[in-house]
Amino acid sequence: LEVLRQRESKWLDMLNNWDKWMAKKHKKIRLRCQKGIPPSLRGRAWQYLSGSKVKLEQNIGKFDVSAAGDLVARPGRGCWWRGAVLGWLLLPPGLGHLQQDLFRVLKAYTLYRPEEGYCQAQAPIAAVLLMHMPAEQAFWCLVQICEKYLPGYYSEKLEAIQLDGQILFSLLHKVSPVAYKHLSKQKIDPILYMTEWFMCAFSRTLPWSSVLRVWDMFFCEGVKIIFRVGLVLLKHTLGSSDKLKSCQGQYETMERLRALSPKIMQETFLVQEV
């Protein structure tokens, strides 16, 4: 408890003098994010790290206008209210106001970016944010994730996610030649196993405590954290001849990637490996 209070005190000092810390001590911020942000300050810290606090201040009232607007359905895209159900799965039971906020955030984003529209993978992202901050703050944090951290991930043709899938695969060649060779031999395209990982920033894959630690680093260091987590999961699932004994075919390999070992997703192990 005393250690947590000390960490909270350090984070409060950083947040209250944010510009100074960002200008001169960014490396220290990164180290503290790697250690994990104190739960009581996590939502506020994510807003500072992402720049969504500044974005909100530059757009006062815009969220309320968007959330109250009328939607026109776009053919071929996921519907924001259907996709909200995906987000609900992450929300604690009995918190009806969060469900309403999830509707408002997803609807507001759809109106804020009508040319892009809504993608179902945004619902779990929004749900995690809403568990740490009010709806307006969560909206601008979602905007930052979609525009700054994962640009192009939620566009209709998913070109950015396909490109990053190929980059992940080429990095795997260096990190785990055994896993790379196996996936190549089985002709398993990266898009088949990494799409949900990357588009949902692991919020639908990892245990909750691991999600929070990954997001702490993600908001500080960017998409490279998502790549690192993906590489750790692939290496420790398919990275040795022993592990491949039960993954002889394409189907078995995909099943293994869908049902990852709890050990490699555990917070302490994962953060240490990343």
CATH number at residue 249: 1.10.472.80
Both 55 and 23 in one domain: the answer is no
At 250, list the tokens. 């394409």
In this structure, the answer to whether residues 163 and 269 fall within a common structural domain is yes
Rounded Cα distance between 249 and 247, Å, is: 6
The pLDDT averaged over each successive group of 10 residues in the chain (274 residues) is 89 94 91 96 98 95 77 49 50 68 91 84 93 96 96 89 96 97 95 96 96 98 98 96 89 94 96 94
CA–CA separation, 71 and 110 (whole Å):
8
Domain-terminating residue out of 91, 117, 149 = 149
Do 15 and 93 share a structural domain?
no
Cα gap 104→80, rounded to integer Å: 10
Q: Torsion angle of alpha carbons 154, 156, 159, 161, nearest 10°?
A: 30
On whether residue 234 sits in a domain, the answer given is: yes
67 and 10 share one domain: no
202 with 143, same domain? no
Quick check: is 154 in a domain? no
Structure tokens given for 45: 């810290």
List the CATH number of the domain containing 56: 1.10.8.270
- Last residue of some domain: 149, 172, 188? 149
Residues 12 and 63 in one domain: no
The torsion angles phi and psi of 172, rounded to 5 degrees, stand at: -60, -30
The answer to whether 221 and 183 are in contact (CB under 8 A) is no
Q: Whole-angstrom Cα distance, residue 130 to residue 143?
A: 13
Q: For the purposes of burial, counting CB atoms within 10 Å of the CB of 48, is it exposed (0-12), middle (13-18) or buried (19 or more)? A: buried
> Where does a domain end: 149, 177, 195?
149
Kindly report the backbone phi and psi dihedral angles of residue 153, in degrees, each rounded to the nearest multiple of 5, phi listed first: -65, -30
Does this model's pTM top 0.75? My answer is: yes
- On whether both 58 and 121 belong to a single domain, the answer is yes
Same domain, 168 and 262: yes
pLDDT of residue 66: 74
Measured CA to CA, the distance from residue 152 to residue 161 in angstroms comes to 7
Query: CB-based burial of residue 225 (10 Å sphere; 0-12 exposed, 13-18 middle, 19+ buried)?
Result: buried
Q: Which amino acid is at 145?
A: I
Domain hosting 29: range is 1-35
CA dist., res. 169 & res. 163, Å (int): 10
102/142 same-domain check: yes
Residue 76, pLDDT score: 47
Q: Which of 267, 273, 272, 223 is nearest to 50 (CA)?
A: 223
Please tell me the predicted confidence (pLDDT) of residue 96.
61
Element (H, E) at 55: helix 52-58
For the chain, the domain total comes to 3
164 and 266 share one domain: yes
Q: Residues 137, 46: one domain?
A: yes
Residues 151/126, Cβ–Cβ less than 8 Å: no
Is position 167 within any domain?
yes
Q: Is the same domain home to 163 and 265? A: yes
